Amino acid sequence: MDQTSPTRPAAPVRLRSVQYRKPYAWAEILIVLNWLAAVAVLTCLPIVLLEPTHRTIRIMIVCVGVYVFTSLISFLHRRSVLCPLCKGTPLASSRAHVHPKATRIFPLDHATSAAFSLVFTQTFRCMYCASRFDLLKPRALPQSPGEADGLPDSQAGR
């Protein structure tokens, strides 16, 4: 007879906390500004094609300039944001080998998928070490020697 071992239910995913959230918050803001500038360019393009006046062309040039500027600033900042565990750049692709458990949204690359996840859920998965991080999870505070024994700080020295 063919006997198969029962499958074990998957363990809950452990989300790690991020020690320094400020670079991730700035990256989120710059990513959203870049996406808004892209929407502005895509909105102005049909307007310029349908009504090519001097004013609409000037607006299109300003929108393209803002998009290029926010793209450059966003890219440079995303390159400076590092994974707390492996020190990779999870928000910008570096063409390094990705972890087999790294997730992505199908038509997008891993870095853009991590950016979408960071903006909309405040979590992301590093594409190089496949660890999940949560920006809203409070970081673990180091315990003093008395707290490790279960005693409050006032009784630890006695």
pLDDT tens for 116-126 read 878 888 787 88
| pLDDT for the residue numbered 28 | 86
Q: What is the mean pLDDT of the chain?
A: 78
Of 22-26, 60-64, 107-111, 122-126, which one has max mean pLDDT? 60-64
More confident residue, 7 or 147: 7
| 3-class SS of residue 132 | strand
pLDDT of 132 above 70 = yes
**Tens digit of each residue's pLDDT (9 = 90 or more) over 29-75:** 998 999 999 999 999 999 999 988 999 999 999 999 999 999 999 98
Question: What is the number of other CB atoms lying within 10 angstroms of the CB of residue 33?
Answer: 17
Tell me the DSSP string of the chain: ----PPPPPPPPP-PEEPS--HHHHHHHHHHHHHHHHHHHHHHHHHHHHHS--HHHHHHHHHHHHHHHHHHHHHHHHHHH---TTT---TTS--SPPPPTT----TTS-HHHHHHHHHHHHSEEE-TTT--EEESSSPPPPPPPHHHHTT--HHHHT-
**What value does the mean pLDDT take over residues 88-92?**
76
| pLDDT for the residue numbered 58 | 93
